[in-house]
A and B are shown apart, each in its own frame.
Chain A
C-alpha cells in the first residue's frame, strides 16, 4: 500500500508497510497512478502507451524500472506481514504508565474542558490523599513486571492544587527505584496559575516532561481559559511559563494549546507562543460534542487542513533560517520511530496505561474516567479485573475494520480510543474527522522532515 502527495514542487510517496519514504519526479508520480502492486509482463508497455503524449518512452521506461527495483526490494508496494504479531501473547503488556489524577478540581473554568473543569465524570471536586498516591506507586511497581522504565503523569484537574501529594509521591517512588530496579519518569500537566519559585525548582529537577497549557494569543486564550471570576488567565501564566522554561535547561517541555472553531487561523497562535520564547509547542483540536458552539465539525475541515499546511510552511521557513522550534504534532521520527509491534498495538490504554482517580478507581484511560464500563478496579478495594484489561488487547489496527487498509495506520496506530468512543460510541470505530486531520499531520511531518 502506498500513499502519494504533492507539497509545492515536491512529490512524496510513502510505502506504508515498510515505512520507506521517497521523493519522486513527475514521471514516476504519474506512473504510480497506473500501478497497484501487481506487475505483469505487459504492464510497462501499457504505461508507456498511456503516457506517450506527456513523456518520452525512454524516460517512462527508466522511471518504471526504478519503481520495479524498489518493489523487488520491498520499499514500494511492500506487503503487510505483521498481522501474525497481533497475538494475545505478543500484545499483552505489563502496566508501565499511570495517569494519576491527583486533583479532581481546578482553579480555572475553561469552557471546553473535557474533564468538566476538573470534576471529570464523577460530579464532585476532590483531591487525592497521599495514601492513595502511594498505593498507585506500589501498584505500578507490582504490575510492571520486568519493565524498568515506568511513567507517572500528575494530572487533573489542576495537579498543583495538590502540591504536597505531588512532591511526596515523587519522593516515595524515588525511594523504591533501586530496590525494584525501576526508573520513574514523572510528567505533569499544569495551567500554571499556582506556579511559584519553589514549584518551578521542583518541577525542573524532578519532572521529566512538563506540559504547560495555554492557547496562544491573549484574546484567544482568554476566551476560554478563564478564572472562577471570569477573568482571562493569559497575563497570569505567561511570565510564570517564561520563568519555568528559562530555568529548565535542556529538559523537555511543551506549551500545549487547544484550537476550536473560534481560531481556525491557529498557526498564528503557535507563532505567537514562539515569539513569547516558547520553542517547544503543541496544538490540538478541541474534543467535545458537536452541539457546543466552539466544536470543530466536518464543515471546518477544509480550513483546518489548510491551516496545518500554513503552519508547516512557517515551521519550514523558521528551521531553514536556523531557528530552533519543535512542534510536537509534526514531530515524527521518519527514520526510526517505534517498532512495528507498538505501532499496531495503538495507544495502550487499558493495556499498558491506566488512569487512577482520587478515590482509587482505576480506569483504562484518563479520558474515560467516569465511564463505568471502562473501570478496571479500585486501589483501596484491591480489585483489578483482568478481563477488562484483556478486552483492550483486541483494539489493534487489525481489529479495526476501517484501519486495515489505510495508509496512515502505522503512524496513527488506530487513533485515540477515547475520542472514538466519545464521537462514535465505540472505541473500535475511528472518528472520521480526526482521521482526516491525522493524515494531514503526517503529510506535514514528512514535508517538514524532508525540506529542512
Chain B
C-alpha cells in the first residue's frame, strides 16, 4: 500500500475465540492502583 501502512498485528476478533481464561494479572495489581486494562499482557496458554 502506498498511502496507508498498518503498523500492528492486533486482532481483537481472534482473541474472542479463546479469551476469558482469567490467568492474566488482575488489572489493579500492577503499578497503577488508581486503570488502563490494555497495558497488560495476555497469559493464556494458547
Contact = CB atoms under 8 A, between A and B. Distances in A.
Interface of A: 13, 17-25, 27-28, 59, 62-63, 66-67, 69-70, 74-75, 78, 81-82, 85, 90, 93-94, 96-97, 99, 114, 147-149, 151, 153, 155, 185, 187, 189, 209, 211, 254, 256, 280, 282, 284-285, 287, 328-329, 331-343, 346-349, 352-353, 365-367, 410-413, 415-416, 419, 438, 441-442, 445, 449-450
Contacts of B23: 147-149
A17 B13 CA distance: 8
Given A19-B10, A62-B3, A329-B36, A96 B42 contact: no
Contact of A450 (B3, B7, B33, B34): B7
Given A337-B38, A347-B35, A18 B13 contact: yes
Given A340-B12, A353-B27, A23 B36 contact: no
A339 B20 contact: yes
Q: Size range of the interface on B?
A: 35 or more
Given A18-B11, A25-B4, A148-B23, A328 B39 contact: yes
A338 B38 contact: yes
**Chain A interface secondary structure, helix, strand, loop or mixed?**
mixed
9 contacts: A24-B3, A74-B13, A254-B31, A329-B36, A339-B18, A340-B19, A353-B29, A410-B12, A442-B38
B5 to A, nearest CB: 5
A285 B10 CA distance: 29
A93 B22 contact: yes
The 8 closest A-B pairs by CB, nearest first: A339-B19, A19-B10, A97-B26, A254-B31, A341-B20, A341-B19, A339-B15, A413-B37
Contact of A338 (B13, B29, B35, B37): B37
Contacts, number: 211
Most buried by A among B2, B4, B19, B23: B4
A284 B42 contact: no
Given A333-B39, A352-B26, 12 more contacts: A13-B4, A22-B5, A96-B26, A97-B26, A149-B24, A189-B33, A209-B31, A335-B10, A337-B41, A338-B24, A353-B26, A410-B12
A138 to B, nearest CB: 19
A112 to B, nearest CB: 11
B16 A338 contact: no
Contact of B6 (A22, A63, A340): A22
Contacts of B44: 339
Contacts of A254: 30-31
A184 to B, nearest CB: 12
Given A90-B20, A342-B37, A352-B22, A19 B12 contact: yes
Interface of B: 1-13, 15-16, 18-20, 22-44
B21 to A, nearest CB: 8
A57 B19 CA distance: 44
Given A85-B16, A328-B39, A24 B4 contact: yes
Nearest to A213: B33
Nearest to A16: B12
A450 B10 CA distance: 14
Contacts of A416: 34-35
A341 B16 contact: yes
A211 B37 CA distance: 18
Nearest to B16: A340
A412 B35 contact: yes
Contacts of A93: 22
A84 to B, nearest CB: 9
Nearest to B15: A339
Contacts of B8: 19-21, 334-335, 449
Given A96-B26, A352-B22, A81 B13 contact: yes
Contact of B10 (A23, A28, A82, A334): A334
Contact of B34 (A21, A59, A287, A343): A287
A63 B3 contact: yes
B16 A347 contact: no
A411 to B, nearest CB: 4
Contact of B2 (A21, A66, A82, A336): A66
Contacts of B35: 346-347, 412-413, 415-416
